[in-house]
Amino acid sequence: KHWKGPDVRARLAAVRGRFELVTERTPAGLGQASRSVAGQLDVAPGKLIHPLRVALLGKAIGPGIFDVLAALGRELSLHRIDTALAELAAGNEPGNAA
């Protein structure tokens, strides 16, 4: 359910753009960046966090997303988000790209 919806791709792209610019790659810094994007988009942070978790982990449950982002590092996190955005554009479910 976190992967479907009219604005998921746009929200994920917005948070990806912010994460690309974050210099403080700690869970706190990444959390603040996410909350800032949620505020700009006028959505609850969960509307970003849940699709982000699916993009990064391929499942809807897991450890704290900001801890995951910090552990994966900048390049791998951005790569996984880019892959998820491509799958969304193609209409695929996460992990089932054609």
**By the 8 A CB rule, do 30 and 19 touch?**
yes
pTM: 0.86
Residue-wise pLDDT for 25-76, tens only, equals: 899 999 999 999 999 999 999 899 999 999 999 888 889 999 999 999 999 9
